[in-house]
Amino acid sequence: MIDYYATLGVPKTATDDEIKQAFRRQAMKHHPDRGGDSAKFQSINEAYTVLSDPQKREQYNNPRAQHGFNPHMGGMNINDIFGAFGVNIRQQRMSPRINLWVSLELIAVGGPQVVALTVNGKSSQIEISVPRSIDDGDTIRYPGMSPDGQDLVITFRIHPNTRWTRDDKHLIVDQAVDLWDLVLGGTIAVTDIRGAELQMTLAAGTQPGSMLRLRGRGLPESDIPGKQGGPGDLLIRVGVRIPEQISPELVAAIRQERGN
C-alpha cells in the first residue's frame, strides 16, 4: 500500500493544517508547469485527496477497512488549495516535455538549434536557443514555443565527449608534446573547444603528466540565471611524443650520459 504520509512528508499524527501546508509545498515543487514530474505530482495529489478527507483518512488508517478502499472516491476542489498561489488546475494543460541531446561543443558557444517534435499528432520543427554552459539534466522552459502555443519544456542531455573532459566549467584535454620540447622548453599550439588556436610557453624540463592552465578558455559564463560566475579554465594534461627516428650520434650521447 502506498504510504501517503511519506508522499507528503508528514508524520501520521499530522494535523489537517500540517497536511495542507505540506501539500502546498510539495505541489509547488513538483507541479509539471513549474518543471516538476507529472507522475510525482499525481501521487502528491492522490495523497492529499485521501488525507485531507476525515472519512477517507480513517479508512486509510484502519487496516480492517482497506478492502474496497478507493482514494479517488468523492470530490475535492484542488483549485481551492492552489488558489492561494494562483494556479488553476482545471484549466492547466500539460506543457510538452522533451529530452534534447546536444554536444559539448554546442554548449560552449550556445545558439540556435532546430528541434523536431510532435504535439497532438502534429509534427513540426522549431528553432530554439541553447543556453551556454548548461549542465546535463538542466531543464529549460521556452514560453509559447510549442506548436500549439503552450510552453515547451526541454531537458538537456549532453553527449559524452572523447576529447574534452568537463569539470563544472573547466575543460581538461590531453595533448602530446615532442620530447625535445619537454626537455628544452618552447612554444606549443593549443586549440580550445571553440576552435581558436592559442600559443603557450612550455618550460624546459616539463614532466609528462603535468597540468598546464589557460585561464578563461574553458566553458563560458552560463546564460542561466543563478549559474553565473565567470568562465572556466582550459587545463592541458601534457603527454610525451617520442620521435620515430633518432640519430645514432644522439643515441650514443644519451647512453654516454646515462653511463651505459
Please give the grid coordinates belonging to residue 17: 493544517
pLDDT tens column, 67-125 = 545 555 444 444 555 454 454 444 456 788 889 999 999 999 999 999 888 877 778 88
Note whether 4-91 and 165-248 share their fold.
Answer: no
Residue, of 20 and 105, whose pLDDT is higher: 105
165-248 homologous superfamily: Urease metallochaperone UreE, N-terminal domain (2.60.260.20)
pLDDT, average across residues 125-150? 89
For the ranges 83-92, 159-168, 176-185, the lowest mean pLDDT is seen at: 83-92
Any residues with CB less than 8 A from the CB of 159 and at least 6 apart, and which?
Answer: 101, 102, 103, 104
Please give the model's pTM, rounded to 2 decimal places: 0.59
Position 231 confidence tier, pLDDT thresholds 50, 70, 90: very high
Q: What are phi and psi of 184, to 5 degrees?
A: -95, -15
For the chain, the domains span 4-91, 97-158, 165-248
pLDDT at 89: 45
Position 240 confidence tier, pLDDT thresholds 50, 70, 90: very high
Provide the strand spans (E) within 88-247: 97-102, 111-119, 122-130, 139-142, 152-158, 165-167, 170-178, 186-191, 197-202, 211-214, 234-241
Instruction: Say whether pLDDT at 237 is over 90.
Output: yes
97-158 homologous superfamily: Urease metallochaperone UreE, N-terminal domain (2.60.260.20)
pLDDT tens column, 56-68 = 888 888 866 545 4
Question: Which CATH number describes the domain made up of 4-91?
Answer: 1.10.287.110
